[in-house]
Amino acid sequence: MTKRELLYEGKAKRIYATEDDNRFIVSYKDAATAFNGEKKAEIKGKGRLNNEISSLLFTKLASKGIQNHFVERLSETEQLVRKVTIIPIEVVVRNIVAGTLSKRLGIEEGTAVPEPITEYYLKNDELGDPLINEDHIRFLKIADKAQLDEMKKIALEVNTLLQAIFTECGVRLVDFKLEFGFSTDGSVLLADEISPDTCRLWDLHTNERFDKDLFRRELGSLTQGYEEIFKRLGGYESCT
């Protein structure tokens, strides 16, 4: 599959057209950003690790019945995906209090959440991705009730499957963010990426951080943390 014109450049990825109208190529960048782009850095190897980890997780999810946009890994930093129109909502699922939930509710990080909490954020850099609810989503005509119910159902299924995958390799899935797209036939499809950029991942025993908080909070080497996640998931051995 050959890369054609650049269709979109985000903070962490570039999306290219291909000769197939129903396929895009996603190219993962080494750029790291946090706090809505206020903090920036180039971190060599980050693009490769996110592409490898995301390819591996999308493949595992597909094998467990969660359809998603991933088609195949093309290179260390690129993957082929199905064409979707991204729905401008970030769906966050939380199993343990951390990050903005801890700040918003004044509850200590690390506190367990008995039932997963689902949140929606509007993807809008100018507004700083505000927290919104289902009524706002319908009011903004971003998705109807059935589409939203479908996204929430898939997000909770992904949570159950990812929790099992990560627990098996000694990692606690604290929270994560998913994005969905509308396929050419109008159905909702899991898209974007699932990586340590979009998940909080702590060691099951020591609570050591292996995710983007290493960069956001300057807790240690981001690539060492991401490399540890890739290794625990089976690394290159699991891709063969």
Q: Could you give the C-alpha distances from 53 to 21, 142, 180, in angstroms and in order? A: 26, 29, 18
Judged by CB under 6 A, the residue of 90, 96, 132, 233 near ligand C5P is 90
Give the binding range for ligand C5P (CB under 6 A) out of 49-57, 75-83, 151-159, 194-202: 194-202
Site string for ligand C5P, 126-145 (x = CB under 6 A): ---x----------------
Binders of ligand C5P among residues 153 to 172 (CB under 6 A) are: none
Q: How far is CA 222 from the centre of its chain?
A: 16
Residue 212 CB, nearest approach to ligand C5P (Å): 5
CA angle at 221 for the pair 166 and 26, rounded to the nearest 5°: 65
Tokens of 223: 């690539």
Q: Is 53 within 8 Å of 199 (Cβ atoms)?
A: no
Cβ neighbours around 225 below 10 Å, total: 23
Give the binding range for ligand C5P (CB under 6 A) out of 42-50, 68-76, 96-104, 142-150: 96-104
Give the binding range for ligand C5P (CB under 6 A) out of 18-26, 67-75, 196-204, 223-231: 196-204
Contact between 193 and ligand C5P per CB under 6 A: no
Helix axis angle, 145-168 relative to 46-63, nearest 10°?
110
Judged by CB under 6 A, the residue of 89, 165, 212, 222 near ligand C5P is 212
Site size toward ligand C5P (CB under 6 A) is: 14
CA angle at 99 for the pair 98 and 105, rounded to the nearest 5°: 75
Residue 194 CB, nearest approach to ligand C5P (Å): 9
The two counts, helices (H) then strands (E), for the chain are 7, 14
At 194, give phi and psi (nearest 5°): -130, 110
Judged by CB under 6 A, the residue of 18, 59, 100, 223 near ligand C5P is 100
What residues make contact with ligand C5P under the rule CB under 6 A?
A: 90, 92, 98-101, 129, 175-177, 198-200, 212
